Amino acid sequence: MFPTLNVILQTVLLIIGTYIFYHAVSIFINYRQNKKIFNGAKGPEKYHWLFGSFFYFPTDSHELAMYLIEMCNKYGSDQGYVVFWGLLGKPILAPSCPRITAKLLKSNEPKSMGLDGAYRHLYPWLGDGLLVANGEKWARNRRLLTPAFHFEILKPYMNVYNQSADVFVKKLAAQAKTNERFEVFQHVCMYTLEVILKCAFSYSEDVQTAGDSNEYVNTVNRITDAVTYRFLNPLMYFDTIWKFSSIGRQFKKDCEFVHTVAEEVIDNRRDALNEQDSTKGSRYTDFLDILLTARDEDGQGLTKLEIRNEVDTFLFEGHDTTASAISWILYSLAEHPECQQKCQTEIDEILAGRETDDLDWSDLSHLEYLTMCIKEGMRLHAPVPAITRDITQDFDLGDRVAPKGTTVIANIWVLNHMETIWGSDHMEFKPDRFSKENVDSIEHFQYVPFSAGPRNCIGQVFAMNEEKVILTKLLRNFSFRLDPSHTVKRKMSSVMRTQNGMYMFVEKRKT
Which of 438, 324, 335, 331 minimizes the C-alpha distance to 382?
324
Q: 430 pLDDT exceeds 90?
A: yes
How does residue 279 score in pLDDT terms, banded at 50, 70 and 90?
Answer: very low
| Sequence spans of domains, the chain | 5-49+61-505
Stretch (H or E) spanning 5: helix 5-37
Question: CA of 263: how far to CAs of 64, 267, 415, in Å?
Answer: 37, 6, 38
pLDDT of residue 479: 98
Q: What is the mean pLDDT of residues 165-192?
A: 93
How does residue 213 score in pLDDT terms, banded at 50, 70 and 90?
Answer: low
Q: Which residue has the higher pLDDT, 81 or 33?
A: 81
The type of residue at 5 is L
- Orientation of helix 157-178 relative to helix 460-477, angle to 10°: 40
Q: Which residue has the higher pLDDT, 89 or 44?
A: 44
Model confidence pLDDT, tens digit, residues 334-382: 999 999 999 999 999 999 999 999 999 999 999 999 999 999 999 999 9
Which of 472, 480, 511, 497 minimizes the C-alpha distance to 172?
480
Q: 278 pLDDT exceeds 50?
A: no
Which of 502, 415, 507 minimizes the C-alpha distance to 69?
415
Tally of CB atoms within 10 A around 327: 26
CA–CA dist 28, 464 (Å, integer): 48
Q: Give the strand pairing for 91-95 and 81-85.
A: antiparallel
Three-state secondary structure string covering 312-359 = HHHHHHHHHHHHHHHHHHHHHHHHCHHHHHHHHHHHHHHHCCCCCCCC
Model confidence pLDDT, tens digit, residues 49-79: 788 888 899 989 999 999 999 999 999 999 9
How does residue 289 score in pLDDT terms, banded at 50, 70 and 90?
Answer: confident
CB 490 within 8 A of CB 349: no
Q: How many Cα atoms within 13 Å fall on the side-chain side of residue 404?
A: 5
Listed as own residue / partner, the contacts of 290-295 with beta carbons closer than 8 Å and 24 or more positions apart are: 290/144, 290/145, 290/147, 290/148, 290/153, 291/145, 291/148, 292/266, 294/144, 294/145, 294/147, 295/144
List beta partners, residue 507. Answer: 479
Domain 5-49+61-505 has CATH 3.90.45.10: no
- Orientation of helix 337-351 relative to helix 460-477, angle to 10°: 90
Model confidence pLDDT, tens digit, residues 359-370: 999 999 999 999
Which of 107, 92, 101, 106 minimizes the C-alpha distance to 51?
92
Model confidence pLDDT, tens digit, residues 378-404: 999 999 999 889 899 999 999 999 998
CA–CA dist 204, 166 (Å, integer): 15
